[in-house]
Amino acid sequence: MIAKPKANTVMILIGFLFIIVFYQSVNKYKIDAETLPSYLTEIKISSYSLTESIQTLITGRRIDYDSLNRSKNRFQNSISELVLNRSETSKPLTLNLNYNNGISIGQKKATFSTDKLESALKERSLIIEDFKSVFSTIRNSEIIIFELLDSLRKDQQHNSKILKKINQLETIVLKEKQFNYKKNYSKTLNKIKEFNANVDSPNHKIPTNLNYIKNHIASIVKNGPLIEEIINQELDISNLIKDEINAIEKKAKNSFEKENRRSFIFSVILIILSLSILIIAARQMRHIHILNKRINKHNETLEDTVNRRTKTIRDEKKHSESILKSLKKMQEKTTTLINNIEGCVYEYDLALEKISYISPGVEKIWGMSIEETLTENKIRDSIYPEDRDDYYQNLEKAINSNSTVNLEYRIHNNKGEPIWVREITTPITSDEGSKKLAGIYYNITSFKNADQEREKMQKELVQSQKLELVGQLAAGIAHEINTPAQFISDNLMFLQESVDEVLGLFKNINKRIIKEEDNLLTTDLKSLMDDIDMPYLEEEIPSALHQSYEGITSVAKIIRAMKNYSHPGESFELVDINASMESTITICSSEWKYFSKMEKNFDENLPMVECVAGDINQVVLNIIVNAAHAIVEKYSDPDNLEGKIIVQTKHINDSVIIEIIDNGNGMPENVKDRIFDQFFTTKKAGIGTGQGLSIAHRLIFEKHSGNIEVDSTEGIGTTFRITLPISQLANNSTE
Amino acid sequence: MNKCSKQRVIFGHTLFILLLLSLKAYPNEPIQIMTAPQQHNLNEVQLGKKLFHSTKLSSNDTISCASCHNLQQGADDGLAASIGINNQKGVINAPSIFNSVLDIAQFWDGRVANLKEQVEGPIHNPKEMGSNWEQVIKKLTSDSDLVAQFTQVYNSGISKETISSAIATYESQLITLNAPFDQYLRGNNDAITDASKEGYKLFKSMGCISCHQGQNVGGNMYQKFGVMGDYFADRGDIKKSDYGRYNITGRERDKFKFKVPSLRNVADTAPYFHDGSASTLEAAVRTMAQYQLGRPISENQVFAITEFLKTLTGEIDKELLP
């Protein structure tokens, strides 16, 4: 069933090929088989009429070569017409054979040689010319013979014998001419010779005309066979032409018939081919028809089933479509949810040690694309090194215990910024059985910052409460100390003055004793005085008193300074910075006075500055303490007092500048950059809280709209410069 | 029915009378009336006329076709042999070109078939025009009027073919009509004298007619000069040109054969024969009688025949003359 249509196609193709090959072989030529007979007939007729013209001339009376020439020209033209129709003169004549065998119409070429015809034409032309010349001569002689015979008869009227002979001769000539003049003029010539013999006698002089007649007869005798030969030649050549024409005709006919036959056979083949194709097609059609019937029947039953099936399928499809739709919707929802959620959901493949899924939120937190996250382990690498150990420990624990873990750590995002991340992750076992972590990352930096802020505030609050307490206590203590110190001081003053008087008294007593001779009293007194080593006392008591006084004064001073320092006031007021500096230095003198010198370089004309005195004192105290520490670190033997702290104040424009310069060990760059950071400290835990300078920075920068700068060279020293605006008015107004 | 048969009888009679009349009007004579030439394109004829009279066809611009074929004098030059460029004397008598289109071939020896082929001959003959096609075409092209005339007639302009064609066309128109003898043949008995009529009779009875026949009174065949006598032996000094057609065919029987010349306008074309040996018509007739007819001829007969020959002179269309 499959091969048959192929065979049909091949057959049809073969059929087309046949047609193409056939028509390819057909070309157009000048003469075709239909016109050829007319050409050939014309040649035949003209050839015949030429022969006839010659015959007419021979048998007729009239001599006129014009008609002969016309016949000759016609014949010549008939041949040249055929010959000139060749495609090329050098090639043989080519004819187109048109045929129509009732089934097909077509053309076929056939070639013929016309060489024979052409040469025959040339030869015939010459023959005709010869004929004209010779025939003219003969005709001329004939005319002249009769003419001369006539005149001879006239001349010899009286000679009956000769006259008789002449008449005889004339009869012979006429007879010869009438029946067979061509062949038997020799006979006539003999007769003339006989006649001459009869006439030519001593008695009779031969007439001149007879000689002329003789000549002409001789001419006829000579030309008679010639003209016969010419006529025979002409007949031969005309027959030859006739034969040649017939040959061409026959060949053309044969070729034509052959071509006709060929095309007939071809056509029959073509018809058989088409018929067989038709039959095959018809059979196929029938077969197809039967098949169709069966198929239709089958189809009917099938249709019912299909209809039923289709319905169910359609319903199912509808159902599944709706499910698919809702699924899609859900998926969309989920995707939107995941994509828009603050934070980032992920799945970590524990076997591959790789993140297998991560939601787009990762870009918000880490600033890196999902691809980067998936291909490289960038997320875990970004964790702060100091947080990593904790992270992995906790994670390990969570995995082992199969429990959810809440991790918090710092990372550096793509730009290097510190980010706090909270990760809540749960170990899960996927459908395929592989162990995974499902978790979520949050950016908790803002919360963390807020926490820190709160913590800091808390600490500060505690600190300040402590300080306040210390201040209050200090104030209380100072007051408590101050009062006794006051009267101690007063008493000491009184004692000093009194001791001098007492001692003067004793001196005078001693002088008197010495002046008085020894008497008991004097001796007693002397020994008593000796007992108490009076001279020593005399010497030491005043100095002791003095020292006591000094001491108590110092105490009073410190107490006062403390009172000043712990001034509980938190409000802005006009402060004498120099005085403030003085008391601060004093308060912390215990910190520095054993290791370094203190140089105070105050501007005497410093204006009152609007500030919170306690804050400024605290800041400067901090710096001085730091400076003292730096000096201690630098100088192994601080007793030499090589260390030096300079505190100086300046007034520049609207600002007051406080500079604390030390020649301690200074700071490295990395430390210098971070000294104002909260919790940053280079000191051992317990010694420093890392809060001092950060608080200092905040107090000066934020509270007083001033500035605090540091200038430090490692190994040489550090300079802190605090700039305070004289008036807070401008700042307040802007706030 | 009656009426119908009557008509038939009348028709039959009329036909018979007409037949008789036609027989009377066209007697069965060996010489036919000259008829007007086939008409050709007038422009072509005019162009041919111009070229025919143009000396540019010769190498030194001295000789034209008309130099040797003077249309006023029987279309030949009246010389035994023509004079070419540089006064060179030719070898043969210039034939008349009147009615030459009717001849079987051109030149005395018939070496070319027609007038068109003939044109090339005198142009290339060093003793005649002594030129060549290239030269001629170059000269003619310099004449812008002529070029325009050529392009008007022929698409191809000036060429060997178109020059030949134009001249041949012009020459084909040079037919002499209405000769007294033609008028006689038409039935005008008074067109020619009695002597002429006698001459015509003699012309036929003495055998002249066996060669000089047809419309052109000759020109339609070749004949040996000296059929009944050896003309050349008698004349002596045989030249190559005397061999005539033999020079063309190479056949022994063609030796001394020439184209039989037309006798129309013969009175105007002295001297006669290919060698121009006969200076008068009478001499020519005598020579013919001796060598061609092979018979005696009386002076009366010569006179009569020449009288007849003179009636063969026709007229040329004036338009064709320069």
Nearest to B294 among A129, A130, A212 (CB): A212
Mean pLDDT estimate for chain A: 79
Looking at residue B311, what is its pLDDT?
95
The band of A467, judged by pLDDT with boundaries at 50, 70 and 90, is low
A306-357 pLDDT, tens digit each: 888 888 888 888 888 888 888 888 888 888 888 887 888 888 888 888 888 8
Report residue A239 as tokens: 């027959």
Residues of chain A in contact with residue B224, where contact means CB-CB under 8 angstroms, are 133, 137
Mean of pLDDT values over A589-594: 80
Query: Is the per-residue pLDDT at B23 higher than 60?
Result: no
Mean of pLDDT values over A473-486: 75
**Looking at per-residue confidence, does B221 or A568 come out higher?**
B221
Looking at residue A214, what is its pLDDT?
78
A109-138 pLDDT, tens digit each: 677 777 888 888 889 999 999 988 988 888
Nearest to A133 among B213, B257, B296 (CB): B257
d(CA A418, CA A410): 7
Looking at residue A3, what is its pLDDT?
45
**A136 to B205: CB separation less than 8 angstroms, yes or no:** no
**B223 to A212: CB separation less than 8 angstroms, yes or no:** no
Q: Which among A267, A251, A252, A250 is positioned nearest to A105, based on CA atoms?
A: A267
A62 touches chain B (CB under 8 A): yes
Active site residues of B: 128
B73 touches chain A (CB under 8 A): no
Residue A315: phi and psi, rounded to 5, are -60, -45
Which amino acid, residue A304?
D
- CA max distance for chain A: 270
Query: Is the per-residue pLDDT at A735 higher than 60?
Result: no
**A133 to B209: CB separation less than 8 angstroms, yes or no:** no
The band of A1, judged by pLDDT with boundaries at 50, 70 and 90, is very low
Q: How far is B22 from chain A (nearest CA, A)?
A: 18
Query: Is the per-residue pLDDT at A237 higher than 70?
Result: yes
For B235, other C-beta atoms within 10 Å of its C-beta total 16
B227 touches chain A (CB under 8 A): yes
Proportion of chain A above pLDDT 70, given as a percent: 82
Query: Are residues B44 and B169 in contact, defined by beta-carbon separation less than 8 angstroms?
Result: yes
Residues of chain B in contact with residue A65, where contact means CB-CB under 8 angstroms, are 213-214, 220-221
DSSP single-letter state for residue B63: -
- Say which range, A47-56, A465-474, B163-172, has the weakest mean pLDDT: A465-474
B209 touches chain A (CB under 8 A): yes
Query: Is the per-residue pLDDT at A294 higher than 60?
Result: yes
B229 touches chain A (CB under 8 A): no
A136 touches chain B (CB under 8 A): yes
The band of A175, judged by pLDDT with boundaries at 50, 70 and 90, is low
A484-530 pLDDT, tens digit each: 777 888 888 888 888 788 878 878 877 877 777 767 777 777 787 77
Residues of chain B in contact with residue A75, where contact means CB-CB under 8 angstroms, are none
Chain A contacts in chain B segment 77-96 (CB below 8 A): none
Mean pLDDT estimate for chain B: 88
Q: Is B255 helix (H, G, I), strand (E, B) or coil?
A: coil
- Give B193-196's long-range contacts (Cβ < 8 A, gap of 24+): B193/B307, B193/B311, B195/B303, B195/B304, B195/B307, B195/B308, B196/B304, B196/B307, B196/B308, B196/B310, B196/B311
Looking at residue B13, what is its pLDDT?
65
**A137 to B296: CB separation less than 8 angstroms, yes or no:** no
Looking at residue A202, what is its pLDDT?
52
Query: Are residues A654 and A729 in contact, defined by beta-carbon separation less than 8 angstroms?
Result: no
Q: How far is B317 from chain A (nearest CA, A)?
A: 24
Q: What is the pTM of this model?
A: 0.53
**A66 to B228: CB separation less than 8 angstroms, yes or no:** no
Query: Are residues B208 and B217 in contact, defined by beta-carbon separation less than 8 angstroms?
Result: no
d(CA A695, CA A653): 26
E strand spans, A279-399: 344-349, 354-358
**B214 to A64: CB separation less than 8 angstroms, yes or no:** yes
**A66 to B215: CB separation less than 8 angstroms, yes or no:** yes
d(CA A241, CA A108): 26
Query: Is the per-residue pLDDT at A471 higher than 60?
Result: yes
Minimum CA–CA partner of A132 in chain B: B221
Looking at residue A733, what is its pLDDT?
42
**B213 to A63: CB separation less than 8 angstroms, yes or no:** yes
Residues of chain B in contact with residue A66, where contact means CB-CB under 8 angstroms, are 32, 213-216, 220
Residues of chain B in contact with residue A141, where contact means CB-CB under 8 angstroms, are 207, 294
**B228 to A148: CB separation less than 8 angstroms, yes or no:** no
d(CA B180, CA B311): 5
Nearest to A136 among B104, B205, B211 (CB): B211
Query: Is the per-residue pLDDT at B239 higher than 80?
Result: yes
Looking at residue A107, what is its pLDDT?
64
Strand partners, A100: A105
Looking at residue A58, what is its pLDDT?
80
Count Cβ–Cβ pairs < 8 Å, chain A vs chain B: 82
Query: Is the per-residue pLDDT at A192 higher than 70?
Result: no
Residues of chain A in contact with residue B215, where contact means CB-CB under 8 angstroms, are 66
Looking at residue A730, what is its pLDDT?
59
Looking at residue B223, what is its pLDDT?
93
d(CA A481, CA A559): 7
A576-585 pLDDT, tens digit each: 888 888 888 8
Q: How far is B254 from chain A (nearest CA, A)?
A: 8
Consecutive H or E run containing A390: helix A385-401
d(CA B232, CA B228): 12
A137 touches chain B (CB under 8 A): yes
**B295 to A212: CB separation less than 8 angstroms, yes or no:** yes
Looking at residue A29, what is its pLDDT?
42
Query: Is the per-residue pLDDT at A4 higher than 60?
Result: no
A139 touches chain B (CB under 8 A): yes
Q: Which among A51, A69, A52, A178 is positioned nearest to B213, based on CA atoms?
A: A69
Q: How far is B141 from chain A (nearest CA, A)?
A: 32
d(CA B149, CA A321): 96
Mean of pLDDT values over B267-286: 92
d(CA B149, CA B105): 29
Mean of pLDDT values over A245-271: 79
B91-113 pLDDT, tens digit each: 888 899 999 999 999 999 999 98
Mean of pLDDT values over B142-152: 89
Query: Is the per-residue pLDDT at A240 higher than 50?
Result: yes
Looking at residue A181, what is its pLDDT?
47
A395-440 pLDDT, tens digit each: 888 888 888 888 888 888 888 888 888 888 888 887 777 888 888 8
Chain B contacts in chain A segment 64-93 (CB below 8 A): 64-66, 69
Mutant choice from A131, A144, A222, A230 vs B, greatest count of B C-beta within 10 A: A144
Residues of chain B in contact with residue A126, where contact means CB-CB under 8 angstroms, are 249, 251
Q: How far is CA A290 from each of CA A169, A284, A293, A303, A603, rounded to the nearest angstrom?
A: 110, 10, 5, 19, 128
**A133 to B222: CB separation less than 8 angstroms, yes or no:** yes
B44-96 pLDDT, tens digit each: 999 999 999 999 999 888 999 998 898 888 888 888 888 888 888 888 888 99
Query: Is the per-residue pLDDT at A198 higher than 80?
Result: no
- Say which range, A552-556, A572-576, B56-60, B217-221, has the weakest mean pLDDT: A552-556
Looking at residue B280, what is its pLDDT?
93
Mutant choice from A57, A58, A64, A146 vs B, greatest count of B C-beta within 10 A: A64
Query: Is the per-residue pLDDT at A206 higher than 70?
Result: no
Mean of pLDDT values over B144-155: 89
A179, exposed or middle or buried, with CB in 10 Å at 0-12, 13-18, 19+? exposed
Minimum CA–CA partner of B208 in chain A: A140
B114 touches chain A (CB under 8 A): no
**A219 to B32: CB separation less than 8 angstroms, yes or no:** no
The band of A274, judged by pLDDT with boundaries at 50, 70 and 90, is confident
Query: Is the per-residue pLDDT at A87 higher than 70?
Result: no
Query: Is the per-residue pLDDT at B170 higher than 80?
Result: yes
For A724, other C-beta atoms within 10 Å of its C-beta total 25
Minimum CA–CA partner of B209 in chain A: A63
Minimum CA–CA partner of B258 in chain A: A133
Q: CB-based contacts of A203: which residues, under 8 Å, 6+ apart?
A: none
The band of A27, judged by pLDDT with boundaries at 50, 70 and 90, is very low
What DSSP string runs through A17-44?
A: HHHHHHHHT----SEETTTHHHHHHHHH
Mean of pLDDT values over B162-186: 93
**How would you classify residue B185: left for phi > 0, otherwise alpha for psi between -120 and 50, otherwise beta?**
alpha
**Looking at per-residue confidence, does B301 or A628 come out higher?**
B301
